[in-house]
Amino acid sequence: MTRMTRVIANYSGIAALCLLVLDAVRVQQLLRSCAQAAAGMPNQDLAKLLHSAEAWTWLHAGLALACLALMLVLSLERAREQGASDAELGDATNRFEAFIDHSPLNAYMKDAQGRMVWTSKNMRENFPVSQAWQGQSRLAGMPEGTIERLNQDIPQILATGKARQDEVDIPSPRGVRRLLVVRFPLRQGGQNYVGGYSMDIQERVDAHRMLEGYARDLENTNRELQNFTSVAAHDLQEPLRKILTFGERLNAAMQGQAGGQAQEDLGRMLSAAGRMRALIDDLLSYTRVASRPWAAVDTDLDACLRQAWSDLEVSVEQSGAVLSTGPLPSLRADPSQLRQLFVNLLGNAIKYRRPDMAPRIDVAWTGRAKDVEIRISDNGIGFDPSQAEKIFELFKRLHGRSEYPGNGLGLAICRKIAERHGGALRAEGRPGQGATFILDLPWGRSVQEETP
């Protein structure tokens, strides 16, 4: 029933009551007037007066009956709609209870004193109790200390109006189980209650512990591999140094003598030994970046870039490379590692140059709220965009060793340095159109911020 219909029904009843009262008052007045006029009035006039009074009375009575009938009809309609509304509410309640009963939640409702006023089917099954425990503050199967701790939070939940969640351990036939308990304030019938539900999250806890174990095992394995790489590289350096030393002596002794094939073979051996020494040095560099502790200090990126360019002096002179850069910012970082990163990136730009053009390298940066973006672009041979991630893989080479020397570790070391600083390194390029390396580094904390 709409609000307008209820208003009409109420006003119909009021109108009927007013008409009945007015009708009674009018009849009384007419009878009094008839009695006063009957004494000196002819019988014909008296009959007209009485007929007028009777008509007026019937008119009022009819209107009153019509209002009462309308009120009755509307009241019956209202009762029908109320019944339908109650039935619909009952169906909704049944659907809600069925939903709760078939969910994995242990749902309940407590009053302000922590006494149970309602529980779901799962709650009654998982914590063996009967309907007799309604109104109590204890639960079979849950430690009393846990119940008391949870009940102590009820005043705060009701006062703040905010939900709260906790994790509790309870004993069970399968051992100790972890429950997630969520509680929130409710108000019903002018009373304050606390609604809540709990669910078993032991499987999630077990999975988390298993992942932590895997992470520890992986960390130990990585540490062992790094130690092995470092030790193996150091152990290989000594025999390799002897091979190079005695090979160079033998090569010098054979100069000017017959036996060109033997000298050519010796040259190949020395070349292979040189490549192996470079590979060992790169492996040691990668291992140091991945494992060596580093202390972040306020680092001038301008100084790191200038030092890296100076380290490449021979390559710069031979290629005619030009570096274009503006002032770079300072940030919290490891200067030696950033210098190595710049050496590798600038060296790559010089190495992978086009044969008909001198290398030109542009360095620009953009400051952001949490980090700084540094873009190092060149006009070299570039690369296929599909190889943008592969070039950072260990020992990955896009060109033969005869075209461009190297071991495929330089860019892997650069990305490792960026990640060690909490940043990232990615690349963009097109064949014949140069390459751009984008380095993201966090600002870090300044010395003043770290000083207590």
User: Pick the residue with more confidence: 16 or 276?
Assistant: 276
User: Pick the residue with more confidence: 384 or 257?
Assistant: 384
Q: State whether 333 and 416 are in the same domain.
A: yes
User: Where residue 279 sits, what CATH number does that domain have?
Assistant: 1.10.287
Q: State whether 255 and 402 are in the same domain.
A: no
Task: Say how many residues make up the chain.
Answer: 452
**Does the pLDDT at position 449 exceed 70?**
no
C-beta separation of 441 from 418 below 8 A: yes
User: Where residue 147 sits, what CATH number does that domain have?
Assistant: 3.30.450.20
User: Pick the residue with more confidence: 100 or 165?
Assistant: 165
Q: State whether 187 and 252 are in the same domain.
A: no
Q: State whether 303 and 285 are in the same domain.
A: no
User: Where residue 333 sits, what CATH number does that domain have?
Assistant: 3.30.565.10
Q: State whether 394 and 313 are in the same domain.
A: yes
Q: State whether 194 and 69 are in the same domain.
A: no
Percent of the chain residues topping a pLDDT of 90: 14
How far apart CA 24 and CA 233 sit, in angstroms, is: 120
**pTM of the model as a whole:** 0.49
How far apart CA 77 and CA 83 sit, in angstroms, is: 10
pLDDT tens digits along 28-67:
555 556 555 555 555 555 455 555 555 555 555 566 566 5
Residue 439: CB partners within 8 Å, gap ≥ 6?
341, 345, 373, 374, 375, 376, 418, 423, 424, 425
Query: Considering its fold, how many domains does the chain have in total?
Result: 4
- pLDDT at residue 92, rounded to an integer: 59
Q: State whether 83 and 129 are in the same domain.
A: no
Q: State whether 360 and 444 are in the same domain.
A: yes
Please give the residue range of the domain that contains residue 258: 208-290
pLDDT tens digits along 361-410:
999 999 888 899 999 999 988 888 888 888 888 766 666 565 666 667 78
pLDDT tens digits along 265-320:
777 787 777 777 777 776 676 666 666 666 678 889 999 999 999 988 988 999 99
Of 232, 258, 290, the last residue of a domain is 290
Of 290, 312, 343, the last residue of a domain is 290
From residue 181, alpha-carbon distances to 67, 169, 204 in Å are 59, 10, 15
How far apart CA 206 and CA 301 sit, in angstroms, is: 46
How far apart CA 290 and CA 438 sit, in angstroms, is: 21
